[in-house]
Amino acid sequence: MEKKIALLGMGTVGSGVLNILKENKDLLLNSTDELLTITHILVSDLNKTRTVDLSGIQVTDNIEDIKNAEIDLVVEVMGGLQDTKTHLLYFLEQGIPVVSANKDMLAEYIDELEHTALNNKTTILYEGAVAGGIPIIHSLTHSLNANRISKVMGILNGTTNFMLTQMADKGLEYEDVLKIAQDMGYAEADPSADVLGLDAARKTLLLARLAFKKRFKMSDLDVIGIDKVDKIDIVHGKKANMTLKLLGVVEDKSSSYHLSVAPIFVDNTHQLSNVKNEKNAVFVEGNAIGQAMFYGPGAGSYETASAVVSDMINTFNLSSKKTILPEEFGEVDQSKEQSDYYFRFSDSIESVKEVLKDYEYKLIDETDKVFIVKSISSKVYEDIQEELQVKASYQVIGAGQDGVAGTN
């Protein structure tokens, strides 16, 4: 049967969707019995030259043309916030299913959209919104569903992971690597959403919601970007067998939840340490599976479209008897658990040692006064910040803690 699909947006991901539908047409038809046909495309500029063949498709810059058409599915890859949400609500209210990869919008409106979908006996799927092609949304929903999830930790932004990898591997400074990322098209002219950690934060919020079945607000997250990262700390980290990664972390601390995005030093025996450049990975901890990790492309035209097209197939081919939507807001507590911390101080080495004398620590570099202080609480972490002049500090996720193969 033919399914008539409206594609809202014709950027990188939109083109990928069109290309996959074309290149894998036989395979998709074979596996679904549905002929997934793009009948309408919404674009912002009708005069733009397109490299993709659009014959037979009604291309419009007016959403009303699509609202008035007979459509079986809406695929939203155009970005935008409130207006986009309003359009999608309209379709859901008509009982038309939606697939979206718009993480900015979803982080804000996912609850409203999913409720509207459920009330109108239809669905909204969004695998492409988090970690590109990696099927983490579907896996949390349908494959790790026997687990009480205690932690999700991910490299969720390819741009910043590319930048941190280049700083580590090539010894480049932040400004130089930002320029390279911009030249290569990984970073926008205004890179704030990436480098300040906001993009990762939105994906982190979506993961927390699925993992814990609670609602969260963006303001629930502690967000630190990579814009203050100094090459020197990456170099010292390397000496201590650690790699700096921008991690979205969500944890169930039994009575409350911890949600954050921050650059964190990861021990080189940890699976996440080896996730390089624009790749993404999501590490999950559950009470049945223990620890698992999903690795793959965090962005890209075909790569993200792999997730979007999968959602399109599953919209027609897979149905859940029960959908649970989180109703309550999760209680958030930002205080961190006991952890190791990396510090670079500007005080004299003697005064640092004097303050740290009650704690277990390892001196990494005498000249730059770099220390790793072991197993300290949030309180002690703050005390140290007060008593000494800290030039840089990062949490350290240690060997043998997570991601390290069980035995030995």
Binding-site residues from annotation: 8-15, 103, 188
Secondary structure of 215-268 as H, E, C letters = ECCHHHCEECCCCCCCHHHHHHHHHCCEEEEEEEEEEECCCCEEEEEEEEEEEC
Pick from 72, 114, 127, 233: which binds a second copy (CB under 8 A)?
Answer: 127
Measured between alpha carbons, how far is 160 from 197 in angstroms, rounded to an integer? Answer: 8
> Amino acid letter at 197?
G
Which range in 54-62, 75-83, 237-245, 295-303 contacts a second copy by CB under 8 A?
295-303
In the complex with a second copy, the residue whose CB is nearer, 108 or 267, is: 267
35-42, strands of its sheet edge to edge: 58-60, 35-42, 2-8, 73-76, 98-100, 124-125
User: Is 401 one of the binding residues for a second copy (CB under 8 A)?
Assistant: no
Which range in 40-48, 218-226, 305-313, 368-376 contacts a second copy by CB under 8 A?
305-313
Cβ-Cβ contacts under 8 Å for 252 (sequence gap 6 or more): 148, 149, 150, 151, 211, 212
Binding mask 234-273 for a second copy (x = CB under 8 A): -------------------------------------x--
Shortest Cβ 318–a second copy spacing (Å): 6
**Residue in 3, 48, 67, 203 annotated catalytic:** 203
CB 73 within 8 A of CB 100: no
Pick from 97, 296, 330, 398: which binds a second copy (CB under 8 A)?
Answer: 296
CA angle in degrees (0–180, nearest 5) for 220-295-320? 70
Binding mask 86-125 for a second copy (x = CB under 8 A): ----------------------------------------
In the complex with a second copy, the residue whose CB is nearer, 279 or 369, is: 279
Measured between alpha carbons, how far is 197 from 4 in angstroms, rounded to an integer? Answer: 37
CB 6 within 8 A of CB 297: no
Interaction residues for a second copy, span 308-337 (CB under 8 A): 308-310, 312-314, 316-322, 324
CB 128 within 8 A of CB 304: yes
User: Is 294 one of the binding residues for a second copy (CB under 8 A)?
Assistant: yes
Which range in 71-79, 130-138, 216-224, 228-236 contacts a second copy by CB under 8 A?
130-138
Shortest Cβ 128–a second copy spacing (Å): 11
CB 304 within 8 A of CB 132: yes
Binding mask 339-358 for a second copy (x = CB under 8 A): --------------------
Pick from 14, 97, 133, 191: which binds a second copy (CB under 8 A)?
Answer: 133
Q: Is 203 a catalytic residue?
A: yes
User: Is 398 one of the binding residues for a second copy (CB under 8 A)?
Assistant: no
In the complex with a second copy, the residue whose CB is nearer, 146 or 189, is: 146
In the complex with a second copy, the residue whose CB is nearer, 100 or 306, is: 306
Question: Collapsing DSSP states into helix, strand and coil, what is residue 35?
Answer: strand
Measured between alpha carbons, how far is 7 from 78 in angstroms, rounded to an integer? Answer: 9
CA atoms within 13 A on the CB side of 255: 2
Pick from 144, 156, 187, 211: which binds a second copy (CB under 8 A)?
Answer: 144
Active-site positions read 203
